[in-house]
Chains A and B, each alone.
Chain A
Amino acid sequence: MTTLKLSQGPAATRVLGVGSTQPDRAVTNDELAQYMDTSDQWIRDRVGIIERRFAGEDERLVDMAVTAGAKALADAGADPSEVDTVILPNCTMPTPIPNAAAQVADRIGIKAAGAFDINAACAGFCYGLALASDLIRGGSAHKVLVIGAEKLTDVVDPTDRSTAIIFADGAGAALVGPADEPGIGPVSWGSAGDLVDMIYMREQKYLFQEGQSVFRWATTQIAPIAADAVARAGLELSDVDVLIPHQANLRIVEAIAKRLRAQGAREDMVVADDIRYSGNTSSASIPIALDHMRAAGTVSSGDVVLAVGFGAGLSYAGQVITCP
């Protein structure tokens, strides 16, 4: 009987570097109010967004992904030749063929990379991070670039005030590699396919969501997932320095933080509010927030970061990471 040889990687992984990009065009609430029935105050009160970034026609999802991925490599001080796998969580590629990951890898200079897209909607980045870590630990990959990239303005009805005020464009990336000490904890993930109709493409054209239902689900069901991720990492909620929920709506973010604090998270835990100036960028929102918070100094190297994504599917995933 033949016995197959199996690969095995290092026991631990960590995030080596992060990077992000957003389109130059900032869109204020007042600008949106010019062509739909809304106002700056209404938007701030409902979703906490002050402005968001919209890509131009010539700024494609793959272009933003290339920029964010290259920045993550630079942040890690890594050469493209060190990377052998690219995972590209997204849900807004304009066509399903070809995927985004292979062309993005090539343009960054990563040759013949294992490259694939995943779609777990707004939970995509946390799914991608889990895959990256386990591919390395299993010996299938050595260094993996995970890039969440979205051009949501392609799938949003610009006159629909329930979505057009929320969603935006951008990309965020993390380079994952082997580590001496664990810097990425076990993932807590899952789905609720019975609730698929809460977020979908109406007439296969425009994103639609049942706002109240999604709000109820996110504000009640996601904190337990985040808490489970902390438990799986062998930590207490009081160990968490920084909470980065998917930037769906500031009121959802605050509700998740409130529930976690009621269960033992610290009052001085830093909570990401990047949505205020970035909008909801789906799978890109967590790495964009992390990158911005590092630049602003609200998150420091070595901090215990709790990331949790949730969205269409419905799908969700969270894990603890150590800030690079």
Chain B
Amino acid sequence: MADKAELLTGLAEIVEEVAGVAKDDVTSEKSFVDDLDIDSLSMVEIAVQAEDKFGVKIPDDELANLKTVGDAVDYVAANSK
């Protein structure tokens, strides 16, 4: 299983690049929609980049369940190769 702190750092870089949110603001408890103001299409872009970066599949129906940054880190940690 990948190191969650590393995953969080990597995910924060993706969120910053896609949505222009400062990566220091991307912390585990933050909600993508409510706290970081990320819309559904940006979530897809984040998922696509995370798939490339972490070697994981994030289908659209799973994506809907990833409410917080921590949810996404946990999902990637559990599903990456």
Contacts and interface: CB of A to CB of B under 8 A. Distances in A.
Interface stretch (A52-60, A65-73, A92-100, A211-219): A211-219
Interface string B31-43: 0000000011101
Given A212-B60, A212-B63, A213-B60, A251 B41 contact: yes
A211 B63 CA distance: 13
Contacts of A213: 60
Nearest to B63: A212
A263 interface: no
A215 B47 CA distance: 12
A215 B39 contact: no
Main SS at interface, chain B:
helix
A303 interface: no
Nearest to B43: A212
Contact of A219 (B43, B48, B60, B63): B48
Nearest to A255: B45
B66 interface: no
B39 A216 contact: no
A220 interface: yes
Given A216-B60, A219-B45, A45 B40 contact: no
A96 to B, nearest CB: 33
Contacts of A212: 40-41, 43-44, 60, 63
B47 to A, nearest CB: 8
A242 to B, nearest CB: 24
B48 A220 contact: yes
A316 to B, nearest CB: 18
Contacts of B48: 216, 219-220
B39 A219 contact: no
Interface in B55-81: 60, 63
Given A216-B48, A219-B48, A220-B48, A46 B41 contact: yes
A220 B48 CA distance: 8
Interface residues of A, number: 12
Contacts of A255: 45
A301 to B, nearest CB: 36
Contacts of A251: 41
Interface string A132-155: 000000000000000000000000
A255 B42 CA distance: 11
A212 B45 CA distance: 10
Contacts of B40: 211-212
Contacts of B43: 212
**Among B40, B41, B43, B45: residue with most chain A CB under 10 A:** B41
Nearest to A213: B60
A288 B39 CA distance: 29
A37 to B, nearest CB: 15
A255 B40 CA distance: 15
Contacts of B39: 45-46
Contacts of B44: 212, 215-216, 219
Nearest to A45: B39
**Among A212, A219, A255: residue with most chain B CB under 10 A:** A212
**Among B43, B60, B63: residue with most chain A CB under 10 A:** B60
A36 to B, nearest CB: 17
Interface in A29-51: 45-46
11 contacts: A211-B40, A211-B41, A212-B41, A212-B43, A212-B44, A213-B60, A216-B44, A216-B47, A216-B48, A216-B60, A255-B45
When A and B form their complex, which 3 residue pairs have the shortest distance between CB atoms, in order from nearest?
Answer: A216-B44, A212-B60, A215-B44
Interface of B: 39-41, 43-45, 47-48, 60, 63
